[in-house]
Structure 1
Amino acid sequence: MVERRISVATHWGSYVAVVDSGRLVRVEPRGDDPAPSPIGPGMVTAADDSARVLRPAVRKGWLDGLPRVHDTARGADAFVEVSWDDALTLVSDELRRVRSQHSDSAVFGGSYGWASAGGFHNAQGQLQRFLALGGGYTDSCNTYSTAALEVVLPHVIGGHPWSYQSRMPMWDEIAESCELVVAFGGLALKNSQINSGGLARHRTRDLQRQCREAGVRFVNVSPLRSDTAGFLDAEWLPVVPHTDTAAMLGIAHTMLVNEWHDEDFLRRCCVGFDRFASYLLGELDGVPKDAAWAAGITGIGRDVLCDLARRLTTRRSLIMVNYAVQRADHGEQPIWMSVVLAAMTGSMGRPGGGWGAGYATMDATGVARGRPSVAAVPKVPNPVPDFIPVARIADTLLHPGRTIDYDGRRLTLPELRLIYWCGGNPFHHHQDLHRLTRAWQAPDTVVVHEAWWNATAKFADIVLPVATSLERDDFAAGFSDPHLVAMPKAREPAGESRTDHDIFRGLAARLGYEQEFTESRSEIEWVRHLYEQTRAELGVEASLPGFDDFWRSSTVELPASTGPFPGDFGALRSDPRRFPLPTPSGRIEIFSEVIDSFGYDDCAGHPKWYAPVEWLRADLAGRFPLHLLSNQPASRLHSQYDNGGHSLSSKILGREPVTMNPGDAASRGIESGMVVRLYNDRGSCLAGAVLSEDVMPGVVQLSTGAWWDPVRPGLSGTMDRHGNPNVLTADRPCSRLSQGPSALSTLVDVERYDDPLPDVLAFTPPPLEQ
């Protein structure tokens, strides 16, 4: 046995891959990572499992020109394996046909997903460069994770949607100067396993420990006690799911009537507080938003809310808001209101205090304010101006020509005839999978690049097998992580797999623009070029080694980003005239004239409480009395490596675990380890029961990312065998402002499943013919 050890980088950290004779033997954590994720070692199980797509495959019904009904429907059909030459000819010919008979906008290239780490082999970047050079495509905007936040924050504090991450306190500042952290939606440490684009080493856990050791007190406002690490010894305030805005309003009212609020900051650095205060006091609708009112909505006691208001204004405090609170009906409101509440406390713009969002959702968030720019595959301007909000793909397929509101604009949904999906899994991210299945039958052709036969591949017409991040040369540059990590190929691609770039090179050659696409560089030449370009742009002060030395050393550190960071709240506090925010007023917009001018009935000019469509106080709770929280998993990144060893080890009788309060379980005759059925009017799924007091009564928690496994694919309402919560969630925009997803506003019920258990087939390929 001659083992080779190769540096690898992933979204969940950097590792050493051990390979023998082309076989992945194990994946080991790096010795300098203080908190390595267990997802990495689990990659071995999936590397060569039976779910790998090994050859190009075409859906039999599509190949035979049959209508998409019954056994020939997408998702239920067999596939025919073909040669690469035939597959590339089919795809290039279909692209030509759709563009000539319909339009360039009929091609959808808004392919959404995390893809895998690596600066050059970024799946969506490669796809969109290829499609733009070919004439253009319809794109998508925003993310499933933070769509409401991305749209509302530029109105409230100005700047790029993600600029807030460089403007909020870092963990070291919190440890040094903060006394009280109130985390709406919690600080689930499991989420900090990941970092978009890669990560040299995990730091969030130890930085949180430093905060606690420094005496910082934490309050976890969440339906889940486990949303903060045990070592934080956080005070848990169980809250009725997605009533965070009401809780904040009750706290704000208490501050206002007791004159505890920071009147000076609100006057000098904000606009519109007087109009918001009228709403808060009930002068407009006769309903004061006081602590007693909030208690009746949130389930948090009136005295608890009043005490929290006092502590927030008498200590250096930080309002944290997690992304989960905005993936719900009216998701803009808790984001907007959290900024307002922070502005009232007296800590906004002071060291370690004020406001921040998304802490612990990625490891580098709150660790570093950013990193210098790293060269990436050059973007090509898209000749097609059409786009859709990312969560409106099913609406677009079902209702082309319909107009929708979006951030003050009226968008006409285009008619999409060809979907090209690369580096993502819509049958994980999207809500109401039965509705998506109906919509997915509409286009003429669906082309997918995939390494495994997941639901997205099974619902495609042409599946092209792609190499994984272990099977190609690249380098990683993670979000805000000040490192570059070399990613030399650990092994050859499985079967006939090719890289995304090589697939697009072959297609571009057939379509007449190969040289424009590749710029006459091989893949390793591209990797070298991008690294050396980064080195040159950073200048001599960066002192980065040449590419060959970098490739041998595996990791180099980038110079720290020192700013200045536009929109800094400390500078605003010191002199709002000299350091205005990039908003229309130059200040924090507690009341936004712009949003108010849109006239939306579900998003007014200042933050308000809107009752969700589905929540525990709704009439529908009489039929479905449990609130489903479909949060991020601890055992994988979204749906990535659900077939990996770590994710598989978390299953119960092959199903995704669902956690519920023991009282709710006892009333239904459910015991830990049983298989249960979750259901509502949209669908049902099986899961394995876990009982825990960490989940408040009336709530169940089922993580996203279990590969969808419908009993009868294509049949509306058919049961999922594996535990995918998106058969239950509603495909409903959170508001007309952002059109973001509202997955976490979902009511269900749960029952024992005593019938014979169906086999889980999520990891079984479809029938394949030669």
Structure 2
Amino acid sequence: MLPEPEKPTVATHWGTYRARWEGGELTALDPVAEDPDPSPIAGSMIDALNNPSRILRPAVRRSFLETGHRAGGEGRGAEPFVEVTWEEALDLAAAELDRVRKSHGNGAIYGGSYGWASAGRFHHAQSQIHRFLNTIGGYTRSVQNYSYAAADAIVPHVLGDKRGLVSRHTSWDVIAKASGLIVMFGGAPRKNAQVSSGGIARHIVGEAIATAQKNGAEIVSVSPIRDDTVGDPDPEWLPVRPTSDVALMLGLAHTLAIEGLADRAFLERYTTGYDRFEAYLFGRHDGTPKDADWAASRTDIPAETIRALARRMAGTRTFIMMAWSLQRADHGEQPYFMAITLAAMLGQIGLPGGGFGFGYASVNGIGNDVPEMSWPSLPQGNNAITDFIPVARIADMLLGPGETYDFNGERRRYPDIRLVYWAGGNPFHHHQDLNRLRHAWQRPETIIVHESWWNPLARHADIVFPATTALERNDIAAASRDRFISASHRIAEPAGETRDDFAIFTGLAARLKVEEAFTDGRNEEGWLRHLYGIARQRGSETGLDLPDFDTFWRTGLCLFPAPAKDRNLLDDFRDDPETNPLPTPSGRIELFSETLDGFGYDDCPGHAAWLEPREWLESPAAIRFPLHLLSNQPKTRLHSQYDSGSHSRAHKLHGREPIRMHPDDAAARGIGDGDIVRVFNTRGACLAAVRLSDALRPGVVQLSTGAWYDPLDPAAPDSLDKHGNPNVLTRDEGTSRLGQGPSAQSCLVEVERFEGEVPEITAFDPPAFAARPTAKTVEREG
């Protein structure tokens, strides 16, 4: 039996909390004292346990219950559900899995998930579903993520691996002590840094920026949104035209080169291919020098401002930060390629406080000083199916089985998916062009989902298993970007008939004769003790002294000291590039990549380049849709999680997601603060409520992601979204043939006042339920 905790701890993606009871009732989650800047998102977790959208029993789409996979997918999202017993739901799901793998092979099963469902090391939905599917023969998987897919593809071609993107960043401590100038492309938004995969003990971004400013660092925020960056005093703001950052960096680079400010010695010793890039920069082949005047015409930043910034960057220790958000746009690989090129021209890579890094404040923990230790997680096993897709190409896959596509130098073919199994994540939040996704979602024969609430994913499923929340199960959290390990105690009884993912998959595994392979003979407590034992062993190898499991479980949180040695990206390479070469073909930073050039992609050449976006404020489409939509991360929830909770709903306007507009743009359209508006383009339309703000540059509107998709007519293929989900508007096209990442930030819209009766929000209501069919259910195959 697990020991009784002294004061129960709850570990989440947005912080670590202590449970508080009054009169035997759970009333609050209080942030741990060690956290200097806790997130308020936890305020939604308690009331969401039993709000009306909670899924309490297994349910099956009515026509699917009647006729099985022959029902087709047209009714998904519109048909009522029938609640069934656990035995019936598990039998039905196991039979469908068995039918598909026997009739079409395991490659016809797509295992969808996303890593944000739970911060725990055991109840991690992505690990659970992948482990289960691997025990029954494998599945088609996805690679990359929506956060930095394009960067994930390009950075290894330039540096040889992903350092500076996902790991081994220069620490905030080094930046705060040594940087004289920090240039932030995309800012450093505090709202993004309130979350991090795997959990958080201490939110660090606010205090890190404050320390840097106290030490004399100047901050320049390059963003269409002024309050993307926190600071006191306010950072200098360059309100760049959206998606033109590469043009700005080229203007900076041209100034460095033409004025003799580029570090030629560094370029000669540590890079390869600069001469090919410089020929492009000077326009030797296309006749167009990419100078500050050229950049000004694309960025809307004055040429003299660009030249002055280049001189400042060359005249002091400068650190270039770039948010992950810049890659979620047309040609999203290029900002990363260009940032590394610009940092190389400054010649400060590897020096304390100089160089570059990606993702600072995109999540909490980037730049955190953490022990060099790999925390254990639930083993996923081996996948016998080698096929995969880039994660953002799911609609392409479902709509075009057998079609070919390019990806990172390969010519690949989309598989023919018959069954989608999803546990953890909500594609009707994070995918683009939801009307197109709805069409694609009708194609599979069967869709099985684990969910806690009746969100859009659950509503568009055939078989729905009700899952417990983090408050209703025991787990262990330990984040790779933080220096802690925490118990996450069960502090609430499972609502209704909910079960955790492990229990659901165990039930299916028993029916498919693989229970022992899936469970490895362990229950929840057995797995927690096993994983902690591995953590304790690895900790001792790196100098971390973890208590025994029972002591850990009672006390709940272990916070480790920061490593004594400062961390600076590529310092060993700078010290001795011959002894410590990069894992690139040349061993150096590849400012021109022969590999990339050999792919022959016109949308991702061998050097960093300005490739005009297909949809931006200077494109022909801007005549009809003259506002650039930025669909960034929300302040009040993690992605779409807990949108039904009190904290998220309290910050809506008239029950709808707020859209920020510059007062000039609103006045030109007769729109006032608080008005309900229709936001639209050729892909779709949604309603939102206006908040006026001069923190945006004119011509830009901002509508955060995560509002649960709420179509006016669930049966209509291209219905108006009533709630304010920006992904009915965004483009579902790959960033390039290299990365195939999402391009949501390349999006133009128009906004108009909504006239007429405003429809009610129904996103948080449960779906319609039907009585069991009276006719005998059709016998299913398999």
TM-score (norm 2): 0.96
CA distance in 2, matches of 1:654, 1:41: 18
1:123 paired residue number: 125
1:384 paired residue number: 385
Contact kept, 8 Å, 1:733 with 1:742, in 2: the verdict is yes
C-alpha deviation, 1:703, in angstroms: 0.3
C-alpha deviation, 1:362, in angstroms: 1.5
2:488 paired residue number: 487
CA distance in 1, matches of 2:201, 2:723: 33
Contact kept, 8 Å, 1:165 with 1:366, in 2: the verdict is no
- The aligned runs of 1:3-402 (5 Å cut-off) are 6-19=8-21, 24-65=26-67, 73-159=75-161, 161=162, 164-368=165-369, 371-402=372-403
Contact kept, 8 Å, 1:166 with 1:370, in 2: the verdict is no
1:743 and 2:741 matched: no
5+ residue gaps, structure 2 = 772-782
The range that moved more, 618-627 or 573-582, is 573-582
1:634 and 2:638 matched: no
How many residue pairs get matched?
766
Contact kept, 8 Å, 2:73 with 2:444, in 1: the verdict is no
CA distance in 1, matches of 2:39, 2:273: 45
Contact kept, 8 Å, 2:673 with 2:692, in 1: the verdict is yes
Contact kept, 8 Å, 2:168 with 2:569, in 1: the verdict is yes
Q: Secondary structure at the match of 2:42?
A: coil
- The aligned runs of 1:407-422 (5 Å cut-off) are 407-422=408-423
C-alpha deviation, 1:166, in angstroms: 3.9
CA distance in 2, matches of 1:525, 1:45: 30
CA distance in 1, matches of 2:164, 2:177: 23
C-alpha deviation, 1:65, in angstroms: 1.9
Over 3 Å counting, the alpha-carbon distance change for 1:113 and 1:756 in structure 2 is farther
CA distance in 2, matches of 1:153, 1:473: 38
Contact kept, 8 Å, 1:431 with 1:730, in 2: the verdict is yes
C-alpha deviation, 1:491, in angstroms: 1.3
In structure 2, what residue type is equivalent to 1:15? Y
The range that moved more, 109-118 or 455-464, is 109-118
The range that moved more, 383-392 or 63-72, is 63-72
Contact kept, 8 Å, 1:68 with 1:441, in 2: the verdict is no
CA distance in 2, matches of 1:56, 1:21: 33
Contact kept, 8 Å, 1:7 with 1:487, in 2: the verdict is yes
In structure 2, what residue type is equivalent to 1:274? D
Over 3 Å counting, the alpha-carbon distance change for 1:582 and 1:562 in structure 2 is farther
C-alpha deviation, 1:154, in angstroms: 0.6
Contact kept, 8 Å, 1:734 with 1:740, in 2: the verdict is yes
C-alpha deviation, 1:571, in angstroms: 2.1
TM-score (norm 1): 0.97
CA distance in 2, matches of 1:165, 1:562: 21
C-alpha deviation, 1:479, in angstroms: 3.0
Contact kept, 8 Å, 1:265 with 1:573, in 2: the verdict is no
1:429 and 2:434 matched: no
Contact kept, 8 Å, 2:113 with 2:422, in 1: the verdict is yes
C-alpha deviation, 1:195, in angstroms: 1.2
CA distance in 2, matches of 1:426, 1:460: 12
In structure 2, what residue type is equivalent to 1:420? Y
Contact kept, 8 Å, 1:196 with 1:478, in 2: the verdict is yes
Q: Secondary structure at the match of 1:45?
A: helix
Q: Secondary structure at the match of 2:691?
A: strand
Over 3 Å counting, the alpha-carbon distance change for 1:303 and 1:578 in structure 2 is same
C-alpha deviation, 1:346, in angstroms: 2.6
| Deviation readout 1:321-363 (Å, 9 max, x if unpaired) | 1111110000000011000001111321110111011111121
Contact kept, 8 Å, 2:661 with 2:691, in 1: the verdict is yes
CA distance in 2, matches of 1:165, 1:64: 47
CA distance in 2, matches of 1:379, 1:460: 25
In structure 2, what residue type is equivalent to 1:37? S
Contact kept, 8 Å, 2:174 with 2:566, in 1: the verdict is no
| Identity within the alignment, % | 51
CA distance in 1, matches of 2:270, 2:51: 58
In structure 1, what residue type is equivalent to 2:226? R
CA distance in 2, matches of 1:504, 1:690: 45
C-alpha deviation, 1:20, in angstroms: 6.5
C-alpha deviation, 1:713, in angstroms: 1.8
C-alpha deviation, 1:516, in angstroms: 1.1
Contact kept, 8 Å, 2:6 with 2:554, in 1: the verdict is no
- Aligned residue among 543, 549, 566 for 2:551: 549
CA distance in 2, matches of 1:518, 1:561: 36
Q: Secondary structure at the match of 2:428?
A: helix
C-alpha deviation, 1:564, in angstroms: 11
C-alpha deviation, 1:593, in angstroms: 0.6
Q: Secondary structure at the match of 1:319?
A: strand
1:504 paired residue number: 505
Q: Secondary structure at the match of 1:91?
A: helix
Over 3 Å counting, the alpha-carbon distance change for 1:188 and 1:564 in structure 2 is closer
Q: Secondary structure at the match of 2:420?
A: strand
5+ residue gaps, structure 1 = none
Over 3 Å counting, the alpha-carbon distance change for 1:380 and 1:643 in structure 2 is same
| Deviation readout 1:168-190 (Å, 9 max, x if unpaired) | 32111111110001111111111
Contact kept, 8 Å, 1:157 with 1:587, in 2: the verdict is yes
CA distance in 1, matches of 2:594, 2:73: 54
C-alpha deviation, 1:28, in angstroms: 1.9
C-alpha deviation, 1:70, in angstroms: 11
1:406 paired residue number: 407
CA distance in 2, matches of 1:371, 1:95: 40
- The aligned runs of 1:465-480 (5 Å cut-off) are 465-480=466-481
Over 3 Å counting, the alpha-carbon distance change for 1:419 and 1:70 in structure 2 is closer
User: What is the root-mean-square deviation in Å for CA atoms of aligned residues?
Assistant: 1.8
CA distance in 1, matches of 2:56, 2:680: 36
Over 3 Å counting, the alpha-carbon distance change for 1:215 and 1:375 in structure 2 is same
| Deviation readout 1:389-443 (Å, 9 max, x if unpaired) | 0000000000000011000011110000000000110000100000000000000
C-alpha deviation, 1:203, in angstroms: 1.9
| Deviation readout 1:357-390 (Å, 9 max, x if unpaired) | 1111121111225641111112211000000000
Over 3 Å counting, the alpha-carbon distance change for 1:373 and 1:561 in structure 2 is farther
In structure 2, what residue type is equivalent to 1:150? D
Contact kept, 8 Å, 2:374 with 2:480, in 1: the verdict is no
Q: Secondary structure at the match of 2:406?
A: strand
Q: Secondary structure at the match of 2:595?
A: helix
Contact kept, 8 Å, 1:329 with 1:734, in 2: the verdict is yes
1:454 paired residue number: 455
CA distance in 1, matches of 2:373, 2:663: 49
C-alpha deviation, 1:19, in angstroms: 4.6
CA distance in 2, matches of 1:560, 1:120: 26
C-alpha deviation, 1:32, in angstroms: 2.5
